[in-house]
């Protein structure tokens, strides 16, 4: 059985908007009264309770958690004893098995989520590590105990199953069953499924090694714009390569990648373990490739992935043109990758207090209606969100769904405009999860990752529209236009670049070629140069970027969906602007409340965008070109 997705996670998109050096257009700075000091919490105890998520909403005590872990393990054994070998006897048996499996999945997901969330805000705590290890053992046991369920259902004769599907009792599970039958040719025997389930912890080796390696790697000190030595970390790296001082961002960039370079063989081993796991899994399940094995189970045709890369490659001349504009406005003789994080339009760099960020997000999402805003308000007021970073907190940002409860959102808020967009992004996931949970049963509530990023990037698009409407001067409009171009670069182009890299290294593995740090550097360096064009200097550090992208290690062909979803949300945000309430209702009813009740292509088509064609990506490219044209026009007028 396809495992319900307990967590929809997204990392902060690299390349935020910050200040730039001279030779750029500037936006008026905030007044002294508007500026606020950036908090600097040394440990979790210093963070106010209101800015930490409340895990007591899941469990009041560890004892209560342990009781659920034990209950889940017992229930998984009971399901096997009660239903195994009996599913073809009656519709009631199938309905009962699915109901009990749903109860088990909901219970185990809640317990696993609590352990994972506890660990991610205190990763150096041995007790939290032990908690997560216990949860992982529970998950492995349940997977092994119930591994017979999918094979047994799909082994039911086709004619018998067609009759079964017509029974009204199975209506709540119809798509779940149809989805299982769709991948029948990739389902193994009961014994084989059990073996794979027992071996499943080994498939996470690359992920686990990367996680510990990334945590343990220590970076050197660098100098800030005032010449003061500061400690470079994973968390503050982006803020320093966003610096308006070119020497600061160059120093941070080189220090970061040269440090990664010392460990590149270890990172390569972790990535290779992940790639080989995907390739082996694909072969065992009779897929043609690791790519097909990753996307087909989510009911997405593999051609969508290839189509994305092809369409974006056709649009690369537009990205090259944007790079030329960036070089011109930065006033540099040579454009380097460390210049990518610096905007070509300067804005006020004052720290944005979290309370102000919340208001900006709420204002931006007003077109979604009062009911949607009430969900956002509840998230802010009832401690769904863990806001600030500490040394041993997981980096990036994500949303973790909890069926029957509310979602949880992890942030590492630094007070930048990019961080404000991240809040909107993750709350898009949270609203999607929350609304689907209210409308769908457990097995239908967990949407495919293909649709997950549409809700989040739609929120970002609405936030941008709100800020652009408020822009009162040409300079403010220039800033926002540049921000939009950067969103396209970091999402549609950059995530497709990542997707192309993933596809290439998996193809090399399938051909039996050696995967080493040297291989990864060569492949990544060539793809990066293709995307950014001749205007971009071939920095020796950039081929190592693969070593810092967590999605390569943690997920399986995930990042392409950031790009496809961005294209979809671009179209949907335009529909909201053009149609208003009818478009909002269509999106809420057919996307945000749909969960995984149908295939993702149909869900998005019903919401208003057809991802089975190249049209959404082509339309996004047109929007990028129009934005670039407007930017160039305003620059020439300045």
Query: Of 447, 444, 439, which Cα lies nearest the Cα of 172?
Result: 444
* CA 463/CA 358 separation, integer angstroms: 11
3-class DSSP state for residue 410? strand
Sign of CA dihedral 199, 200, 206, 207: negative
From the candidates 426, 460, 467, 486, which is the catalytic residue? 426
* CA 32/CA 142 separation, integer angstroms: 57
Residue 221 CB-half CA count within 13 A:
6
Query: Of 34, 118, 142, 100, which Cα lies nearest the Cα of 393?
Result: 118
Q: Is 426 a catalytic residue?
A: yes
Q: What is the 3-state composition of the chain as percent helix, strand, coil, each rounded to the nearest 5?
A: 65, 5, 30
Q: What are phi and psi of 221, to 5 degrees?
A: -85, 150
* CA 125/CA 127 separation, integer angstroms: 5
Burial class of residue 112 (count of CB atoms within 10 Å of its CB; 0-12, 13-18, 19+): buried
Region for residue 593 given its phi and psi (left: phi exceeds 0; alpha: psi -120 to 50; beta: otherwise):
alpha
DSSP 236-296: THHHHHT-SSHHHHHHHHHHHHHHHHHTHHHHHHHHHHHHHHHHHHHHHTT-SSHHHHHHG
Q: What is the DSSP pairing of strand 7-8 with strand 398-400?
A: antiparallel
Query: Of 189, 200, 183, which Cα lies nearest the Cα of 292?
Result: 183
Q: Cα–Cα–Cα angle for 140, 499, 116, nearest 5°?
A: 30
Q: What is the dihedral of CA 455, 461, 466, 467, to 10 degrees?
A: 130
Helix H or strand E segment including 318:
helix 316-330
Q: What residues are labeled active site?
A: 426
């Amino acid at each position: 059985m396809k495992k319900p997705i307990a967590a929809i996670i997204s990392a902060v998109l690299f390349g935020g908007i910050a200040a730039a050096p001279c030779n750029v257009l500037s936006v008026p700075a905030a007044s002294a009264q508007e500026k606020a000091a950036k908090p600097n919490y040394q440990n979790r105890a210093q963070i106010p309770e209101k800015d930490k998520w409340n895990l007591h909403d899941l469990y009041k005590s560890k004892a209560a958690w342990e009781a659920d872990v034990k209950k889940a393990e017992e229930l998984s054994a009971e399901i096997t004893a009660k239903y195994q070998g009996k599913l073809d006897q009656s519709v009631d048996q199938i309905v009962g098995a699915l109901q009990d499996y749903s109860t088990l999945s909901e219970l185990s997901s809640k317990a696993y989520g609590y352990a994972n969330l506890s660990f991610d805000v205190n990763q150096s705590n041995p007790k939290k590590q032990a908690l997560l290890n216990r949860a992982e053992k529970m998950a492995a046991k349940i997977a092994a105990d119930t591994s017979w369920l999918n094979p047994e259902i799909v082994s039911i004769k086709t004619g018998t199953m067609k009759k079964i599907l017509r029974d009204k009792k199975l209506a709540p599970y119809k798509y779940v069953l149809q989805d299982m039958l769709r991948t029948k040719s990739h389902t193994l025997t009961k014994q084989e499924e059990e073996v794979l389930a027992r071996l499943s912890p080994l498939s996470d080796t690359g992920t686990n090694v990367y996680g510990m390696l990334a945590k343990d790697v220590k970076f050197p000190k660098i100098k800030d714009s005032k010449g003061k030595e500061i400690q470079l970390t994973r968390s503050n790296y982006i803020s320093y390569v966003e610096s308006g001082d070119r020497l600061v961002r160059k120093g941070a960039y080189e220090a970061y990648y040269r440090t990664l370079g010392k460990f590149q063989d270890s990172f390569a081993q972790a990535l290779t373990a992940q790639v080989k796991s995907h390739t082996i899994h694909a072969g065992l399940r009779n897929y043609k490739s690791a790519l097909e094995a990753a996307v087909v189970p989510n009911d997405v045709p593999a051609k969508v992935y290839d189509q994305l890369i092809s369409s974006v490659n056709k649009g690369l001349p537009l990205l090259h043109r944007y790079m030329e504009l960036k070089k011109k406005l930065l006033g540099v003789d040579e454009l380097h990758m460390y210049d990518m994080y610096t905007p070509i339009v300067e804005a006020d760099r004052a720290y944005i207090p979290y309370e102000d960020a919340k208001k900006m997000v709420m204002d931006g999402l007003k077109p979604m209606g009062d009911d949607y805003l009430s969900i956002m308000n509840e998230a802010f007021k009832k401690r769904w969100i863990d806001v600030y970073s500490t040394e041993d907190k997981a980096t990036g940002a994500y949303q973790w769904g909890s069926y029957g409860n509310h979602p949880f959102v992890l942030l590492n808020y630094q007070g930048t405009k990019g961080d404000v967009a991240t809040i909107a992004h993750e709350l898009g996931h949270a609203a999607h999860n929350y609304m689907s949970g209210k409308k769908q049963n457990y097995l239908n509530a967990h949407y495919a990752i293909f649709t997950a990023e549409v809700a989040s990037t739609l929120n970002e698009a609405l936030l941008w529209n709100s800020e652009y409407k408020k822009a009162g001067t040409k300079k403010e409009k220039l800033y926002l236009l540049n921000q939009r171009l950067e969103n396209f670069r970091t999402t549609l182009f950059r995530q497709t670049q990542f997707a192309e890299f993933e596809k290439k290294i998996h193809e090399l593995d399938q051909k039996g070629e050696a995967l080493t740090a040297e291989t990864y550097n060569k492949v990544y360096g060539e793809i990066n140069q293709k995307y950014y064009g001749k205007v971009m200097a071939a920095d020796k550090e950039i081929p190592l970027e693969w070593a810092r992208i967590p999605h390569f290690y943690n997920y399986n062909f995930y990042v392409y969906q950031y790009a496809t979803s961005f294209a979809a949300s671009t179209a949907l945000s335009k529909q909201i602007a053009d149609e208003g309430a009818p478009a909002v209702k269509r999106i809420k009813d057919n996307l945000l409340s749909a969960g995984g009740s149908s295939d993702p292509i149909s869900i998005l088509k019903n919401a208003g965008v057809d991802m089975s064609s190249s049209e959404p990506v082509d339309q996004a490219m047109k929007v990028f070109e129009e934005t670039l044209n407007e930017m160039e026009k305003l620059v020439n007028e300045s």
